[in-house]
Amino acid sequence: MKTVSTAKSHGGVQGVYTHASEVCACDMTFAVFVPPQAAERPCPVVWYLSGLTCTHQNVMDKGEYRRMAAELGLIVVCPDTSPRGDDIPDEKDNWQFGKGAGFYLDATQAPYARNYRMYSYVTEDLPALIAGNFPADMSRQAIFGHSMGGHGALTIALKSPGRYKSCSAFAPIVQPMTAGWSKPALEKFLGRDALAWRSYDATALIEDGHRFPEFLVDQGSADGFLEDGLRPWLLEEACAKAGIALTLRMQEGYDHSYFFISTFMDDHLKWHSERLG
């Protein structure tokens, strides 16, 4: 692991780091905020997964999470959204696919299968690095994200019973199997058999028996992607049938941007902190 930069913030340290990822077969970059309480004891870890076109930088610069994380004593880890590098296969003219749009899955189709393994990166590779290099209490983890990252947070939580104490999302893609901006990506990453897509679809996972105690979802009513891509009512229906507690808050007038995310970031961190203990 190499340190790119560190800066003091709210009594803690905001760092950016790189490492050679065996899972993604390339160098990966991630950000970690360590609160001041970590000088005295290991702190719980909150994972934030960013959305399409983003890197760790977006939430680090615009998410406004450090003040509350410092107050609550939370380590916040912000991975990149996909593998990076000149040799990584990509579609440069397609912002909904490839670099920046890894969809937090493990690709099975050539030429993407070697590098696009963001599911394993977030659940195996990076957690091992965090546990070995930061004062992290890995027995207390939470996960949340935005848009594509919200999709990732929901699916990872559903498939990892017992690992995460809580899960929330800002404007998540809740059914990527049928959304216009994600269905083509699933086909390229996973092949044409839609059965293979179900393990990376929150509503399908719930239908197939996966469970998580409760979710918190914030969604802006003025989000331009609401009707065609996000459709939180599908998650609401699936959770209701499965008996999963879902707090879905439709936020009047808010869009898909970090103006929306930063407004409700404190709420989500407090919600996670309560469940992390």
135-146 confidence digits (pLDDT tens): 999 999 999 999
* Under 8 Å between Cβ of 123 and 150: no
pTM of the predicted protein model = 0.97
Catalytic residues: 147, 223, 256
We report the CATH number of the domain holding residue 142 as: 3.40.50.1820
Q: Which amino acid is at 170?
A: F
The 3-state DSSP composition of the chain as helix, strand, coil percent (nearest 5) reads 35, 25, 35
Q: The domain containing residue 53 runs over which residues?
A: 2-276
191-245 confidence digits (pLDDT tens): 999 999 999 999 999 999 999 999 999 999 999 999 999 999 999 999 999 999 9
- Total number of domains constituting the chain: 1
Query: What does the CA dihedral 119, 136, 31, 203 come to, rounded to 10 degrees?
Result: 30
